[in-house]
Structure formats: C-alpha cells, structure tokens
Amino acid sequence: PSTDINADVGESFGRWRLGDDEAMLGIVTSANVACGFHAGDPLTLRRTCMAAVERGVAIGAQVGYRDLAGFGRRFVDVAAPDLTADVLYQLGALDGIARAAGGRVAYLKPHGALYNAIVTHEEQARAMVEAVLAFNRGYDAALPVLGLPGSAFLAVAEAAGLTAVREAFADRAYRGDGTLVPRSEPGAVLTDPAAAADQALRLVQAGGVDSVCVHGDSPDAVALATAVRTRLTDAGFGLGAFT
Amino acid sequence: PSTDINADVGESFGRWRLGDDEAMLGIVTSANVACGFHAGDPLTLRRTCMAAVERGVAIGAQVGYRDLAGFGRRFVDVAAPDLTADVLYQLGALDGIARAAGGRVAYLKPHGALYNAIVTHEEQARAMVEAVLAFNRGYDAALPVLGLPGSAFLAVAEAAGLTAVREAFADRAYRGDGTLVPRSEPGAVLTDPAAAADQALRLVQAGGVDSVCVHGDSPDAVALATAVRTRLTDAGFGLGAFT
Amino acid sequence: PSTDINADVGESFGRWRLGDDEAMLGIVTSANVACGFHAGDPLTLRRTCMAAVERGVAIGAQVGYRDLAGFGRRFVDVAAPDLTADVLYQLGALDGIARAAGGRVAYLKPHGALYNAIVTHEEQARAMVEAVLAFNRGYDAALPVLGLPGSAFLAVAEAAGLTAVREAFADRAYRGDGTLVPRSEPGAVLTDPAAAADQALRLVQAGGVDSVCVHGDSPDAVALATAVRTRLTDAGFGLGAFT
Amino acid sequence: PSTDINADVGESFGRWRLGDDEAMLGIVTSANVACGFHAGDPLTLRRTCMAAVERGVAIGAQVGYRDLAGFGRRFVDVAAPDLTADVLYQLGALDGIARAAGGRVAYLKPHGALYNAIVTHEEQARAMVEAVLAFNRGYDAALPVLGLPGSAFLAVAEAAGLTAVREAFADRAYRGDGTLVPRSEPGAVLTDPAAAADQALRLVQAGGVDSVCVHGDSPDAVALATAVRTRLTDAGFGLGAFT
C-alpha cells in the first residue's frame, strides 16, 4: 500500500520568514505552495518551486483569501465570481512560476479559513470548483483537489468530474464524529511527534484517506513530519505523490 | 502596409472603475491588460480577457511595480531577482485568466514607471527579459515585448533572442531627439483627437514603429482612439495585432 | 427643530477617483471620511479634511475592514483584539490628518460590511466600542458613534457611556420592520432625488433619528443630496452637525 | 554624561514574527515602533506600545515607505505631497495607539530606504519635515527627529526649528569619511557583541552623538544590545531617552 504526505510551504513574505521549507521538502511528497494572497512573495514561490522540482516533490497551489494581515485565517465573505477569479489568478501565477522551474501546478489545496469555509459553504465551494474547471480547460489539465473527506467542496468537485483527494491531519485533534477540533479550543493541535505519527498511521490504515497533512510552521514541524514519515514507511507504506 | 494600435485596459480595481474598456476593445488590435500589481482585480481581468477574446483583440500582459497606491507610476528600486519573480508571477496570473477565457497572453508591455525605468536601467531591463525568457521556456512560448524604440529594454530583449516590438505614442508629445516630454511638463499629453491622429500617422509613415499606443484613461480616450484608428485606415493602413 | 445630513467622502484611492467630494461637502453637515483600510489614500484624506474644515463640516472617521479589493463591503471574521487595534489605528491616522488641517475627528461611523455586521454581531460591536473608549481616554475626547437605530453596536455603545447617534437613510429602501433591504435585492437603493427627499423628511419627522445619510458615490449623488437638504430646510428643519 | 540607546521594534506582521521586542524593550531607552507601512499590524503596535509604556521606554514613530513586500528597504520615488500625507497618517496612527496605552509618540525616525534616501534627497527630506511640522501644529507638540549626522534631513529639520537628534550605529561599519558601509557590501554589519560595544563607546565618547542605534532583528540582537548597554554604563554613561 502507499500514501502521500503533504505540507504547507512557501509561506514566507519578504523580510518575514516562516517554516523550514528546505527541510520539509526533504520529507513530504506533495508541497502546498502559497500563492501570494495569504502568504508567499513571488521570489519565495520561485525558490520553493525550484527546490520542489529538484527533489521531485509535487507542487500544489495553496490558494487563500486575499488577506495578508490575517494570513488567510479569517473568513471573508467573497462573492462567488470574485472568488473564482481570485483562485484562477493564484493558480495561474503559481503555474507560471512552477513551469519556469521545470514543474507545473499538479493539484489545488485551499488554505486556512477558505479550507474550513468550504466544508459547508456551498456557494464558495462551487466558486472554487469553477476556478479549477476553468484552469483545466485553459491548460488542457486535470488538476485534482485536496480537501476534507465529507466536505461540500469535495462533493461538488466530484460531481463536476474533478478528482477529489481526501486528506487526514497527523497533527490536528479529531472529534468522535470525524470533524476537527477548532484551533481555538485547547488540545486542537498535536505537538508530540510520536502522538502525531500514531494518529497518522491509524488514519491511513482505517482507509478513506489519500494523503496525510503535516503542518510546517510550528517549531517542531520538521521533527514531527519526520516521525510521521518514518512511522508510515516502517508500517510498510510506500510514499509518493497522489498526482 | 499595416500596423497595430494598443491601449491599456483592465485598470479598474474593485469598486473603482477606470476607463471604458468595452469601447476601447472595439477600437484597438492589442490590449495591454493590467496584471494586478499596479491595477486590475482578478474579476476585472477575467471580464477584460473575455471581452478581448470575443472581439479578437490580442491580450498583452501589462506588468508593473507592486504599488496600487501609486498606480505603478513611481519608480521602485526592486532588486533584480525580485523583479524577475514579480513579473513571472504577473505573467502567469494573467495567462491563467486569459486561457480560461479561450485566449492566452500574447506579449508583454511594462507599465508606467517600470516602462520608463527600463529605458535606461540596465539591471531592471535584464530582470524583465529574464522573466520573459523563463515564461517562454515554461510554456514553450515566444512572447514578444513591447517597448520604446532605442530603450535598454528592447536592446537587451533582442540580444536575448526575444522579438522587440517598437511603439510610438499618438497622444504624448515628443522632443526633437525622439524622447518623450515627461508627464510633469506642460503639453506632455496631447488631448486633441485630430492632433493625436496626425501625430500617429506621421510616426507610422516615418517607419521604425510596429504599434501605436493610445491611452485609455482620459475623458476623451475613446474619441481620440477612434480618430487615430480612422486616420490610419483612411491613409491605407491595415490594422492587426503584431503577434 | 434641526437635524444633520451625513455622507461618505474621501473614498478615492491613488489614481482612482470616487464621488464628488467638493460638491458633497457643500451640502452635508457631517462628513464620514474614509480612513485608508477600505478606501482613502493619505493625500486624499488630507485634502478632504482641509476642505471639510474650510466649510465648517464635522469630520467623522469612517472606519472599515482592511479590504481595499472589496471596498470594505465583505464581512471579514476579524478577532476582537485585532478589530479594536485596527479601528484605533484608523481613528488615530485620521485624527492626525484632521488636526494638521485645523480640525479633529469628531465622531466614528463604521463602513459597509462592518456597519452591517455590528447590527447583530455582539463581539465585533464590543470590539468597536473598546476602540472608541480607548481613543477617548487617550485624547481626553468624547467621540459619539453613528449607527443604525436598534443595532447591537448602539446598544453596547450606550451601555459603555458613549453617545449613540441614530441615523436614517434617505436613499436606501426600508422593510416594514425598519431594517434595510439588502443591496443584493432589487429596489434596495432609491435613485430618484424626489423619492429620497420624501423618505428623508418622513423619517426625520417620525422622530428617533439624529442624522440623515445620503450616499456620495452614485452618479446622481449630488442632485439627490441637494434634494434631501432642500426638502428638510423647506420643511423648517435647521441643519447642523450633531457633534 | 548620559546617552540614549534606540532600536526598532513592532516589526512583526500578522502571523509573521520578527525580533524579540520584549527583550529589547528591557535594554533600550527609546523604541522605534513601526507604523504599519513597512511592517507592524495594529495589534502588534498596540502590544508594543503597552510594553514600552510599562517599562518607561520612549515611543518613536518609525515611519517608512508603503511597501510591506520590500519591508521599506527599497527606494520609492514618492512625490512630496504624498510622502508628507503618508508620514502624517503613520504618525497619527501610532500616536492614537500610543495614547490609548498611556503614552504618546515622542519622536520620529525614518526607516530603511527612506532613512537612507533623505540623507541626500532634499525634496523627500523637506516632505518629511513638513509632516512633523503639521503634526506638531495639530497636537501642540514638539517632536524631535532622529537621523544621520550631516544628513539633508537633519539640516532641513533644524532650519525649520525642529530638534535634530544625531544617532550613531553600534552594529554598522563606518567608512573613513563617516558614512555607512552599504548593506550590500561585505562587513557592513557588525555581528560580534564586543566589537559593537567597542564601536558604540568610541562613537559616543567622540561626541556629536545623541543616541546609539542597535538593530533588533538579527539572531544575536539581544546579546549585542546588552553588550552595548553594559559597555556604556560601565564607562560611566547614564542612560535615558533624549525626549
């Protein structure tokens, strides 16, 4: 059996550095690269795409709300036509940078508050899917989309003929019903590498998961991602991008 | 004989409208569409590209400094690697939107202070050319670049194997030595449609010009552009995009 | 009897012009000046404050979400401590500019989606009031706040000891229950000057209203505002700022 | 004898953290707080001002070009009226936040490329001084300005009646003629705490210096600032804000 590990990278902005992208790109098989709306200046994106191509890591477009001050973590009530255009703009921008580096955008993953919103927000979910369909038509591509199993986003995407990739979180606590504990609650984030590795293996073995997400911006991100990767490979899982 | 008429479009931003893009797209053969850094929100760009494709007008990427407050009209001392990445980002973004509309980015034109800077600023000129070369490699494309005859930009572009398109301005006053009268001086901008049409015809007949630029954001932009187009066709020039 | 007329001004941004501020400042008694987060570059704010001081019009801080692309018309789920700091920042910025012009910020009015949100959003309403209280302490001031009668915002403000100024809209349609017809519905905006003037007079005569709002960014804004002013003065109302 | 130590603080932005402001505020006597144009979201500014007031550290407004992506380190050719308004806006914004914290803006220091530009750029230097004069009139204040000895900025400021505070850099290499080695050259920044402390003492003892600047955003910033402070007090200098 095999699976995929994804993490957010390219989230620095100008003078401000965030995460150890070099190290994370040595661990994951899919890299969710920021697209400039919630994080990621163009030079950071270019360097990140170059490093991803060099290591054979798949490049995903991590699209978000236009909100640098909020790092894309605040819901913005964007109208559907604007959201579609915003996402198409981000997809194109990152694809331009990825192609110049010898790669291409291979999938889309929504970021932060947008990711959470389209678990239930049908209109924004449809606007996102519109953008991917338009991109696919424009470049004769077939981008899959990464999202939460059971979300409106993945349902709309599949209904529109897109490939829906279901992800599980190694380092976020789950409730009994399978939804995530919100970040505002205590214990929402698992910080112990061993606990995260255990959870990752359990979720992958339970099935219904195509990719495991680890976060890249915590102090122990590299240790935690390494623990997850090791646990999965020790248990016999091959690792490779889903794309 | 034939020539091309180009104008800036897509320069609205959110609530703020600028220019009559619909009318201008009915007159010009090449449309310099803003790319979001000096103007142009993604939905505006999308609508503009759709309208351009519908009318068979060539889409150019009008790239600028990241400066909405200054509308890209202030020199910014951007380092070369940043400028290359900024331009690649803008090219990709607009191309994504153009392709979704059934078109593609067909050329690059620098905007405002960037246009003026790279008349003489060798380092920024090279950074711009780097971006176009990287885009061309990435998409197996051959974008030409539009610029001022005699500029460092066009010289560097040609030396790098790019097609350099020389433009003349219908509505900007020229000095005896062929350089433009700066906007800060009186008489820098021709507002009389007939005078602009006369100048356009004179410049095109003199040769060494591949495209005539008319500005789209003045109150009489449409009347002026119409006068230029009529004068050129009355004089027997065919009109078509240079791309 | 007397009342006040307020309108939004200072909403241009760099190259993009919006509204005829000069004309509006000749009609209204209170000017809601943008503060840079949803609109208004600093030079525009400075010129607007100078013109307001010259004409004896009261300057209000029209604070909004940090969202130029959305013109502050999209709800943003800002956390309370951020919203308080954002509003304090905007209040201080405009006050600096107003004082340099010989005036001062004399009241606060929330803009767009923020205005609408705090009709019911208790947490953001409290965050706004916190900001005004902090500003008042800092400058030994007593800013009143302008808002919708019956809103959570005005209730929280009054409970905290602030002066709550109740406004009515001349050019927005009301439902039977006194709430506004949303902009997304047909007929939400009254465009006929006479109809708006009628509504303004009716609302003021009904009582419970301290200021009448007219919008400044429609094509007929000046004609409509003039009609409202004339109708009110013809009916015997004196006009003067509530501050 | 006594002197002052100043450092830049408040330069985080949203999710991105920069520098150890808490530690630096325990060492310096004057804090150059960012004002939101090159860095510093409002909540960061508020917390920084609260911490400064608590520790009795003077609050200065560290104003910069409107350029988050470039961290204010790129020259922007802003026209004088815009620059004056931009600076007045920043001064007012920070003053609002400082007053709410029980303090006030006590001086102005230009940041980054703006600092460097007005060493020689007369027009921008005058625009800056205009802003301080307007602020002083508006609030009946007398802000001093911090700058490079011998700069056009300090000359224009003094000629206009402002108090000019001359600063020396503990951790920047000087040329024989007293100008700074540009950051782009090797050895431009002193990273050894002892060497910086030596240089600070030497410069202060030589006279003509009212404040010593230490940088807050390097990994060893706290150690270096501590060494400078200790060396100065060991040599018998009292430390206190110049304001």
CA nearest neighbour of A147 among A111, A198, A104: A111
Closest D-chain CA to B79:
D74
With beta carbons under 8 A apart, name residues in chain B contacting D74: 76-79
**Cβ contact, residue pair D67, B76, below 8 Å:** yes
Q: What's the whole-number average pLDDT of chain A?
A: 96
> What mean pLDDT comes out for the span A55-63?
98
With beta carbons under 8 A apart, name residues in chain D contacting B76: 67, 70, 74-77
In the block, tokens 């009916």 appear at C235
**Cβ contact, residue pair C69, A66, below 8 Å:** yes
Q: Phi and psi dihedrals of D151, rounded to 5? A: -75, 155
Q: For a pLDDT cut of 70, what percent of chain C falls above it?
A: 100
**Cβ contact, residue pair A99, B41, below 8 Å:** no
> What mean pLDDT comes out for the span A4-12?
98
pLDDT at A126 (0 to 100): 98
Nearest to C76 among A76, A79, A82 (CB): A76
Distance from CA of D71 to the nearest CA of A (A): 6
Q: Residue A160 pLDDT more than 80?
A: yes
DSSP β-bridge partners for residue A61: A33, A108
Provide the residue ranges of all domains of chain B, joining segments of one domain with +: 2-239
**D134 interfacial to chain C (CB closer than 8 Å):** yes
pLDDT at A218 (0 to 100): 79
**D97 interfacial to chain C (CB closer than 8 Å):** yes
Nearest to A69 among D14, D69, D70 (CB): D14
pLDDT at B167 (0 to 100): 96
Nearest to D70 among A12, A14, A69 (CB): A14
With beta carbons under 8 A apart, name residues in chain D contacting B79: 74
Distance of alpha carbon D219 from alpha carbon B239, whole angstroms = 61
Buried/exposed code over A130-168 (b: 16+ C-beta within 10 A; e: otherwise): bbbbbbbebbeeebbbbbbeebbbbebbeeeebbbbbbb
**Cβ contact, residue pair A75, C77, below 8 Å:** yes
**D41 interfacial to chain A (CB closer than 8 Å):** yes
Q: Residue A128 pLDDT more than 90?
A: yes
pLDDT at C178 (0 to 100): 79
**A68 interfacial to chain D (CB closer than 8 Å):** yes
- Contacts from C171-177 at CB under 8 Å and sequence distance 24+? C171/C196, C171/C199, C171/C214, C171/C215, C171/C218, C171/C224, C174/C199
Closest C-chain CA to D48:
C85
**Cβ contact, residue pair C42, D86, below 8 Å:** yes
For chains A and C, count residue pairs whose Cβ atoms are closer than 8 Å.
31
**B74 interfacial to chain D (CB closer than 8 Å):** yes
pLDDT at C176 (0 to 100): 86
pLDDT at A220 (0 to 100): 87
Closest A-chain CA to D12:
A16
In the block, tokens 């009355």 appear at B234
Distance from CA of C133 to the nearest CA of D (A): 9
Nearest to A74 among C70, C77, C113 (CB): C77
pLDDT at B1 (0 to 100): 87
Contacts of A179 (CB under 8 A, 6+ apart): none
**D159 interfacial to chain C (CB closer than 8 Å):** no
pLDDT at A177 (0 to 100): 83
With beta carbons under 8 A apart, name residues in chain B contacting C217: 15
> What mean pLDDT comes out for the span C87-105?
98
In the block, tokens 């979201």 appear at D41
**Cβ contact, residue pair B92, A93, below 8 Å:** yes
pLDDT at C78 (0 to 100): 98
Closest C-chain CA to A37:
C69
pLDDT at C177 (0 to 100): 83
**Residue A197: other Cβ atoms inside 10 A:** 26
**Cβ contact, residue pair A85, B139, below 8 Å:** no
Distance of alpha carbon C143 from alpha carbon C105, whole angstroms = 8
Q: Residue B222 pLDDT more than 80?
A: yes
Please provide the DSSP assignment of B88-157 as one string: HHHHHHHHHHHHHTT--EEEEEE-HHHHHHTTT-HHHHHHHHHHHHHHHHHHT----EEE-TT-HHHHHH
- Within 135-154 of A, beta carbons closer than 8 Å to B belong to 135, 137-139
Distance of alpha carbon B35 from alpha carbon B44, whole angstroms = 10
Distance of alpha carbon B69 from alpha carbon D70, whole angstroms = 15
**D75 interfacial to chain B (CB closer than 8 Å):** yes
**Subunits in contact with chain D (3 or more CB pairs closer than 8 Å):** A, B, C
With beta carbons under 8 A apart, name residues in chain D contacting A73: 15
Distance from CA of D57 to the nearest CA of C (A): 18
Q: Residue D217 pLDDT more than 80?
A: no
pLDDT at D1 (0 to 100): 87
Closest B-chain CA to A47:
B85
Complex ipTM, two decimals? Answer: 0.97
Q: What's the whole-number average pLDDT of chain D?
A: 96
Q: What is the pLDDT of residues A198-233, one digit of tens each?
A: 999 999 999 999 999 999 777 889 999 999 999 999
Q: Residue C180 pLDDT more than 90?
A: no
Measure the CA dihedral D222/D228/D234/D239, to 10°: -90
**A20 interfacial to chain D (CB closer than 8 Å):** no
Closest C-chain CA to D102:
C138
**Cβ contact, residue pair A69, D18, below 8 Å:** no
**D68 interfacial to chain A (CB closer than 8 Å):** yes
In terms of CATH, what superfamily is D2-239?
Glycoside hydrolase/deacetylase (3.20.20.370)
Distance of alpha carbon C3 from alpha carbon A81, whole angstroms = 41
Q: What is the pLDDT of residues B99-125, one digit of tens each?
A: 999 999 999 999 999 999 999 999 999
Q: What is the pLDDT of residues D70-96, one digit of tens each?
A: 999 999 999 999 999 999 999 999 999
**C77 interfacial to chain A (CB closer than 8 Å):** yes
Q: Residue B129 pLDDT more than 90?
A: yes
**Cβ contact, residue pair D85, C43, below 8 Å:** yes
In the block, tokens 């050719």 appear at D77
**Cβ contact, residue pair D93, C97, below 8 Å:** no
Q: Residue D230 pLDDT more than 90?
A: yes
Q: What is the pLDDT of residues B5-24, one digit of tens each?
A: 999 999 999 999 999 999 99
pLDDT at C183 (0 to 100): 81
With beta carbons under 8 A apart, name residues in chain C contacting D96: 88-89, 91-93, 95-96, 135, 138-139
Ramachandran category for residue D74: left, alpha or beta (phi over 0 → left; psi -120 to 50 → alpha): beta
Distance from CA of C10 to the nearest CA of D (A): 14
> What mean pLDDT comes out for the span C91-110?
98
Q: Residue D220 pLDDT more than 90?
A: no
